[in-house]
Amino acid sequence: MKKTILLAAFAILGLVSCTNEGTAVNTVSSMKTPQMENFDKAFKSLGEPQNRPTEEERKRNTSELSDRRKALLVPASKELILSTGVTESELMRKTGGDMSQIIVWATQIYMKKSEDIRNNIKAEN
Amino acid sequence: MKKLLTVIFIAAVSLIHAQNLKLIVNNYSTTFDFHGTLSAHNFGGGCYPYVTTNSPAMVVVPANANMNNGNELVYANFKDQYVNSLYPNASWMVQLSAATSIVRAWNHASIAPGGVISANTKWSSSQFQMYYAGTSTPEPSFSGLIGEPQDPCTGAISNISTPYGDVEWFNITTGNVDYSYLQIY
């Protein structure tokens, strides 16, 4: 009798834990760090009316993002790089303060982190 | 012997110039799905090799699929995209000249990273058509050829504005890194 009750208790525990599993669905967006979120927002902000390319920027011969618009991505990029434990002086030494290098470095960190999150989700399921 | 040396020389030069390229598509539109080809070609004189998505020819990046929710399209190269990207393309149309085109599976050795085709092409453009999200209804005036501007091989422009939304193509480059972004707002 005791055994049956125990078994039933474990079965219920098992069921409960399975139900909880559903509520704790992890998605890439829910597992992102605040620094990653800000980095995303910075890229999205390029579409806001005041951040769209100006007439002059459109007439340029290159598709390289203009310095004005790169500057919109730099604060979030720096934040993301520093969040990995890199110091401010190391950041300056490695990039020389070059906006493209800062953004590219942050993008590489971002993609690595997204990949890790995706792999974690896969491993959990 | 001379031929072999030439091949080795070209391969070596290609390797030296091997760049870290990526194509990233962020669809921030919440109303429209993006359906478009994705092309890369040689920018070092002539347009070939010219490589375009083939299966599917039009890659679909759904409405609101972007870095904000981790659903952006990222293609690092012709091969790894099939394994790593959320929007895999199983084969590529490879044009070696105006007259010669071959379909190559994603894992064909000739288009692998570090190979001559991969080393001599850069992301260039997309012929796209926006569809109302989740439907097969296109919005005829929200379409076009977006890509590197001033490119005689494609004739693409880098900014398209419509009453339905805007599309732009831009790059962020450093010495050996070149990230191309296609963003839809």
- ipTM given for this complex: 0.83
Q: How far is A9 from chain B (nearest CA, A)?
A: 39
Lowest mean pLDDT, pick from A2-11, A46-55, A66-75, B31-40 = A2-11
Tell me how far apart the alpha carbons of residues B118 and B121 are, in angstroms, rounded to a whole number: 6
Q: Do the Cβ atoms of B158 and A32 come within 8 Å? A: no
Q: At B104, list the tokens.
A: 């190559």
pLDDT band at B12 (very low <50, low <70, confident <90, very high): very low
Taking any CB pair shorter than 8 Å as contact, residues of chain B touching chain A are 26, 28, 66-71, 74, 84, 147-150, 158-159, 166, 168-174, 177, 179-181, 183, 185
The pLDDT-based confidence of A22 (bands split at 50, 70, 90) is: very low
Bridge partners of B52?
A: B39, B93
Q: Which of B32, B67, B162 should one mutate to test binding to chain A, selecting the residue with the greatest count of A CBs within 10 A?
A: B67
The domain spans of chain A are 27-124
CB under 8 Å, gap of 24 or more: what pairs does A64-67 form? Answer: A64/B170, A64/B171, A64/B172, A64/B173, A65/B170, A65/B171, A65/B172, A65/B181, A67/A99
What pLDDT, in 10s, does the model give residues A104-123? 999 999 989 988 888 888 88
Residue A66 CA neighbour count, 13 Å, CB half: 16
- pTM of the entire structure? 0.84
Which residues from A are below 8 Å from B when comparing CB atoms? 27-29, 32, 37, 39-41, 43-44, 46-47, 52-53, 58, 61-65, 69-70, 98, 100-101, 103-104, 107, 110-111, 114-115, 117-118
- Separation between Cα atoms, residue B88 and residue B107, nearest integer Å: 12
Q: What's the token pair of residue B1? A: 């012997």
At B71-96, the pLDDT tens digits run: 999 999 999 999 999 999 999 999 99
